[in-house]
Structure 1
């Protein structure tokens, strides 16, 4: 009998990729046809082929099953069988009961899953996840055999964080979450305060420790007590289970990180307060069929479904718009009590997105601060394989490489275009990457006053780099030359190491459109050299014009063989860096 809960699973450690993985699941014909070792291994293979996952070696059925499990636990696909009270229902029987007779087999896309893959903005995606998490209750038809009681994990986390905040205490770190929240507990009215009391008592004891040995012994005592309660290795609970809790529940957009702790996002506090006025509400216990209908249709009630509350949210968002001449503000002002709820929600999503774009300008300006530049360099160094003390945790290396390089050019500044238009990867409300940039264009695009810089980054190496990067990088650069005919267009290609064959195609710099020859200026730079260029920025401010000069100097030497050109580029970075510092 489990005495611990876990949202998602510890294999799917990057849930930000779930919506893209679900699109692959549907596009490649797995909906309703995802069972069996061959199909499961094929799913894993397709996720790699479609660039949702990057892994070495062969695809496995085990990993395919883990992704499939993440889909059905979150309600995005159906399961094979259901238990409601004493009834044992097939998929067809259950979905007929809840008004979805077209779903008749296990692992078919549900309306909740359809909404997720059709969502086009981050605010929409966050609300879909929020509904699923607020609805989520234990035990349920898919997860049973818990000790006596009931629990809503997402609501419990909100309640505990709310109480900590009200007492001016820090949020929860992963270790505390594992110790005090991951255990299955009967979710009584008193439980949130009881957990807060336990957290504060632990913190007092931790503060009283005067040595690393005492701290270690205290943590071990708490882990041993947890292990006796739950019957499994407590180390996995305070590390892996709590880690997935942070990752999955953060998809709601209701949380932010302060250091190593998670807290309720300040601009979501009003929403959370209203939500907790009626939660926890245990729908599965009261009406299992209604619970499953809400879960699979993504219709569980939220405060923003209330017209009055949604209009209040719109007023708050309107007040936050800085550009008072923005056309969206006029549209929002036309919304009133007679507008339909669909019209109200559409404007609300647009205002959230626009508000995020304005905040992104603040984020871009912050990247020029010395502490931000140091943080950028630390990320780049870790991504380059360095071990640095207290280095950042990186859960998605390809996405974070794009993000760190993006931040690097925001730090250089003097952009012509808005910050959100310089990246093609989606970001969350903290402006961290949700995923990598989709295909069909460059990873990053920076328009400056006198030139345009296309930036392509990759962690691939050797022959695979040639297979997946050489053609699209040149093609994208030509596309942007056509888009910006009145400006010089350069491309910077960044990788931990640059394959000689890739460097050769960029050295030649030719792209054919039928019989017409197009020349492109692409500089392949290894990540170490790029870090060295960024290190200069931590010592002295330089301009995008200075960086253009570096690009042009690197292109001067491309009439030599590819291996020599790569060496010249590294040397030029060093010479350029010394010149900038000595100016």
Structure 2
């Protein structure tokens, strides 16, 4: 039987990868054997990167042990972590757990074993740095990921598997678009459903053209059917027949594999979504790079020994990208600059002066990234202009109200729509999300762990905004200290003396509020901070008030917003504790709304 390929077989949650790598870094240089494998797993437990807040993990532990793990004021020692794993009483021991936790790091190319010892790769050290880009990491990994490879037993049959899945996906979309253009059909990439059927069942690079033809014929037949029942029956029967030889093509797997793969592939910025999120296509702003990639790589797997494959996956400088030469980089530079000039013209803005001092490779690459950063800045200005329409307020309110049912993960959706809300609320100079953005300025992943989620710049003050979907004690564990640290780092470099931090969540955990209260009432690292906790419902109330003001042709300035923030911070002088502080914020909000609407 054949197998569908999927991201699930290659990597784990990217949010966990860095934490696991941070832990492995503690052991770099140690011999990789059963003892160190046990130690790695124990260190993951010690750092609360494994087992913490996991009901299944807790199920075989004593209540006292669970309480020890849950007590976030207690730093778990390595000895205690070993004892916790021994208490789990794994029949096979827990060295195998350490090997399992290590494997995704090796598969992505973040770590490897060299001369029997743990080694963090150049790609891994990049991920551990302060300015890592998770999209760049996955792009560098995906362009090399192939089947068969010496690390995978499931896809070892060379008569069936010969493919680089990511490169093959680019080829497949490109071939489908070419066929549609030749037949005078609408060129629109491929639907997520088509990818589910034809993308992950593509196992050999020589079948790309045939698979593209099959996909287009499937689309034409489906479009010709008159009603939804006929369409549904056709899809079910087609999947049953077309994927009958794949032993993992269950209905649940098909959808999960496709959703997960598209989410990861989008991180590279070489695939975009269109058609209301139902289609994926080649990113038009990267077409120079994509065409060079398609010209130079037919998606066939290379032959490697195991050691050579691991070394290849681990080297951030391999392969040399086919557009990293002067003429191609100049094309990319000019194309990106053209995008910028078009945006400036659309918004009647003065042209920003860009010029090249030389044409050296590294310099050109750096200048292209500067252009892309500036393009994002222009796209943010364009977004703010679009969001001033009253109908856009209703849309953002709807998205926030139904934050868990969007086509994005809730954590990403919250960063996106709080960014939109902040653009709506007042006359900010710039609202800058630190989330991972696609070239068309859409949100594809949450902000890196070492930066605020959103930075806000005003004429009279600056602020950061941190958001989370967590509501239990994990909220305090994941957000308490990091929020205050990010905010203090921001305060230290801010151009204004007055700085604020908005913290937005569905609801506030008591431990989170108590931590922020101590910072507001007393100090964090020697000085008090201005942290304002607001739940999603309260943000929606503010948006509804802004909408009413707009309909009355009234304005709402950042100074009015500052007054509201100051009133919440000022409660520290009149309330007794964190509980009363949190209970009083709704009253402040209601009074503020009434004052605005009655003025």
TM-score range relative to shorter protein: 0.7 to 0.9
1:441-493 CA-partner distances (Å, limit 9, x unpaired)? 75434232233334343444455555665566567666766666965444433
> Deviation of residue 399 (structure 1)?
4.8
> Deviation of residue 367 (structure 1)?
3.8
Matched, 1:228 2:244: yes
User: CA 1:504–1:114 in 2, change beyond 3 Å: closer, same or farther?
Assistant: closer
Query: 2:335 corresponds to which residue?
Result: 316
Matched, 1:307 2:307: no
Q: In the alignment, which of 269, 278, 283 is matched to residue 260 of structure 1?
A: 278
| Contact kept in structure 1, 2:503 and 2:534, CA below 8 Å | yes
**For 1:131 and 1:11, how far apart are their aligned partners in 2?**
14
| Contact kept in structure 1, 2:323 and 2:329, CA below 8 Å | yes
Query: 2:533 corresponds to which residue?
Result: 524
**For 2:375 and 2:305, how far apart are their aligned partners in 1?**
39
Query: 1:455 corresponds to which residue?
Result: 465
User: CA 1:46–1:275 in 2, change beyond 3 Å: closer, same or farther?
Assistant: farther
TM-score by length of 2: 0.75
> Deviation of residue 277 (structure 1)?
1.8
Query: Could you say what secondary structure the match of 2:120 adopts?
Result: coil
Matched, 1:75 2:75: no
Which region of structure 1 is more displaced relative to structure 2, 289-298 or 309-318? 289-298
User: CA 1:231–1:433 in 2, change beyond 3 Å: closer, same or farther?
Assistant: closer
**For 2:581 and 2:45, how far apart are their aligned partners in 1?**
36
Matched, 1:493 2:503: yes
Matched, 1:140 2:149: yes
User: CA 1:208–1:554 in 2, change beyond 3 Å: closer, same or farther?
Assistant: same
Q: 1:20-39, aligned counterparts within 5 Å?
A: 20-21=18-19, 23-29=21-27, 38-39=38-39
Query: 2:358 corresponds to which residue?
Result: 335
Query: 1:409 corresponds to which residue?
Result: 422
Query: 2:313 corresponds to which residue?
Result: 295
**For 2:352 and 2:8, how far apart are their aligned partners in 1?**
41
Query: 2:397 corresponds to which residue?
Result: 377
**For 1:500 and 1:157, how far apart are their aligned partners in 2?**
47
> Deviation of residue 280 (structure 1)?
0.7
Query: 1:345 corresponds to which residue?
Result: 365
Q: In the alignment, which of 421, 445, 448 is matched to residue 434 of structure 1?
A: 445
**For 1:261 and 1:250, how far apart are their aligned partners in 2?**
12
Query: Could you say what secondary structure the match of 1:523 adopts?
Result: strand
**For 1:538 and 1:448, how far apart are their aligned partners in 2?**
21
User: CA 1:434–1:33 in 2, change beyond 3 Å: closer, same or farther?
Assistant: farther
Query: 1:86 corresponds to which residue?
Result: none
User: CA 1:544–1:35 in 2, change beyond 3 Å: closer, same or farther?
Assistant: farther
Query: 1:175 corresponds to which residue?
Result: 193
> Deviation of residue 19 (structure 1)?
6.3
**For 1:400 and 1:141, how far apart are their aligned partners in 2?**
38
1:284-313 CA-partner distances (Å, limit 9, x unpaired)? 149998766543424124222333212322
> Deviation of residue 73 (structure 1)?
2.2
Query: Could you say what secondary structure the match of 2:293 adopts?
Result: helix
**For 2:373 and 2:103, how far apart are their aligned partners in 1?**
31
Query: 1:5 corresponds to which residue?
Result: 5
Q: In the alignment, which of 359, 377, 381 is matched to residue 379 of structure 2?
A: 359
| Contact kept in structure 2, 1:127 and 1:252, CA below 8 Å | yes
Query: 1:97 corresponds to which residue?
Result: none
**For 2:408 and 2:99, how far apart are their aligned partners in 1?**
25
| Contact kept in structure 1, 2:503 and 2:533, CA below 8 Å | yes
**For 1:113 and 1:475, how far apart are their aligned partners in 2?**
24
Q: 1:563-578, aligned counterparts within 5 Å?
A: 563-577=579-593
Structure 1: tracts of 5 or more residues without a match: 79-90, 92-102, 386-390
| Contact kept in structure 2, 1:475 and 1:511, CA below 8 Å | no
| Contact kept in structure 2, 1:450 and 1:487, CA below 8 Å | no
**For 1:151 and 1:478, how far apart are their aligned partners in 2?**
48
Q: In the alignment, which of 242, 249, 252 is matched to residue 265 of structure 2?
A: 249
| Contact kept in structure 2, 1:456 and 1:494, CA below 8 Å | yes
| Contact kept in structure 2, 1:77 and 1:108, CA below 8 Å | yes
User: CA 1:195–1:184 in 2, change beyond 3 Å: closer, same or farther?
Assistant: closer
User: CA 1:498–1:202 in 2, change beyond 3 Å: closer, same or farther?
Assistant: same
1:237-263 CA-partner distances (Å, limit 9, x unpaired)? 421222232122223211111112211
> Deviation of residue 70 (structure 1)?
2.6
Query: Could you say what secondary structure the match of 1:376 adopts?
Result: helix
Q: In the alignment, which of 168, 193, 199 is matched to residue 156 of structure 1?
A: 168
> Deviation of residue 582 (structure 1)?
6.6
**For 1:368 and 1:35, how far apart are their aligned partners in 2?**
60
User: CA 1:67–1:326 in 2, change beyond 3 Å: closer, same or farther?
Assistant: farther
| Contact kept in structure 2, 1:174 and 1:238, CA below 8 Å | no
Aligned length: 533
**For 1:128 and 1:442, how far apart are their aligned partners in 2?**
21
> Deviation of residue 269 (structure 1)?
1.5
Query: Could you say what secondary structure the match of 2:149 adopts?
Result: coil
**For 1:31 and 1:527, how far apart are their aligned partners in 2?**
46
User: CA 1:40–1:261 in 2, change beyond 3 Å: closer, same or farther?
Assistant: farther
**For 1:134 and 1:466, how far apart are their aligned partners in 2?**
38
User: CA 1:111–1:235 in 2, change beyond 3 Å: closer, same or farther?
Assistant: same
User: CA 1:34–1:42 in 2, change beyond 3 Å: closer, same or farther?
Assistant: farther
> Deviation of residue 230 (structure 1)?
0.5
Query: Could you say what secondary structure the match of 1:446 adopts?
Result: strand
| Contact kept in structure 1, 2:436 and 2:446, CA below 8 Å | yes
Q: CA-atom RMSD, angstroms?
A: 4.0
